[in-house]
Amino acid sequence: MAKDEIVLGIHAINALIKRSPERFIEMWLLKGRDDERLLPIINLARKYKIPVQFVHRKVLDDKADGEQHQGVIARVTPGKTYTENDIEDILSQADSRDELPFLLILDGVTDPHNLGACLRNADAAGVQAIIVPKDKAARITATVRKVAVGAAETVPLVQVTNLARTMKQLQQMGVWIIGTAGETDSCLYDVKLDGPMALVMGAEGKGMRRLTREHCDQLVKLPMAGSVSSLNVSVATGICLFEIVRQRLKQ
């Protein structure tokens, strides 16, 4: 049985309590803090009859295990785990909203802060799901939720057993797969990106694995003018996603 999860931070808890209040088991709030940022959470906890304890900072610090908690921590039941079997349903739901497929594939991104930032980017850009390999990749954790400021509740994180096979299945469904790689001559801004699309971003430092690269329909790179050879993966992801958004808005 999956273990209960810890959620911390004002935005993450606010987003989750609005979306899935039934998942909350208990909540801890910093004693003496009832300012305007925490009041909405306190009111929602009362509304949904979530047990709340007002505790000293040390109690919260211990539960947060070194992470910034902003004076509020909750224990919740595990959320839904998405697998390759859910992808078709996710795209069908997008189609019912007249949305073209728009997916983000992260190949081995292991840093939880980067995953959280990528979730936030994906939510802002309208991405329907993030696909990651089941092994050697970051998972949804308290840190990821906090960095994602609510996006971990709105963008499904799909864990797949075989990333290359999943990419092939997407291609058979008519999704064009764009990968980012420094060694290509094609610039992001010179490529047509307005159709059914999946963007692949490689791991921090190493980039995409060979098999992942080989399953891309096209490789693109960002033009780099400075002495730094690459950008943080979440920054590069945001730039690439919003170039796709820009091109789609022109249609």
Residues belonging to the binding site for S-adenosyl-L-methionine are 202, 222, 231
Instruction: List the 5-8 sheet strands across, edge first.
Output: 5-8, 72-76, 24-30, 52-55
Q: For 44-79, what is the HEC assignment?
A: HHHHCCCCEEEECHHHHHHHHCCCCCCCEEEEECCC
The closest of 123, 142, 4, 133 to 69, measured between CA atoms, is: 142
Coil/strand/helix, residue 246: helix
Residues that constitute the known binding site:
202, 222, 231
Give yes or no for a contact between 204 and 233, defined as CB atoms under 8 angstroms apart: yes
Coil/strand/helix, residue 210: helix
Q: At 66, phi and psi to the nearest 5?
A: 95, -10
Tokens read off for 76: 């919740």
Between the alpha carbon of residue 115 and those of residues 59, 121, 136, 183, 208, the distances in Å are 27, 10, 13, 24, 16
